[in-house]
Amino acid sequence: IFQFKCYSNGPLAEKPMAKRAGVGWYGKNGIILTRDYGSWIVLGEIITNLELEEDAPLKKSCKSCQACIKACPTNALYWKTGEIGIVKELCIYCSACVLSCVVDDCIQVSRRRANGEIEKFSNSGQVLRLLQDINTRKREKMVRLLFPDEKAYLKRYCDLEL
């Protein structure tokens, strides 16, 4: 009979184990990046006496863009001679490094257009442009709803009686 114990945030070194097990690779932010989910994962472990086949570690690695390092509001991340460094006392766990990751194919988004066509976006630059376009259109629509004409805008913000 096999035995097991599950951990999440347990006594194990989760990230090195995940890398060795082939789950992903280290990004410059020190977080494990995966092919399918980017950095949007939660690591957990199951310790068992069951014999399992080993997976090979992934060879893919960070693109060296330093977007995560630049995004860190507390300067907790640094990159020196091919190694990621995190000053844990400075890290406020804000996820800015995760949100700024630009590893291609980490984020995969698709949307269905009005004509039924499906558009696919496979890198964060494409996703960012899509979101900017959507937000611009939403903002313009909201402004048109609030201020159907120039007169309404001037009355609201310039305190003018026309």
Q: What is the pLDDT of residues 92-133, one digit of tens each?
A: 877 777 777 766 544 445 667 778 887 776 555 666 677 777
pLDDT tens for residues 14-42? 888 888 888 888 887 778 888 777 777 88
At 86, is the secondary structure helix, strand, or coil? strand
Other CB atoms within a 10 A radius of the CB of residue 68 amount to 25
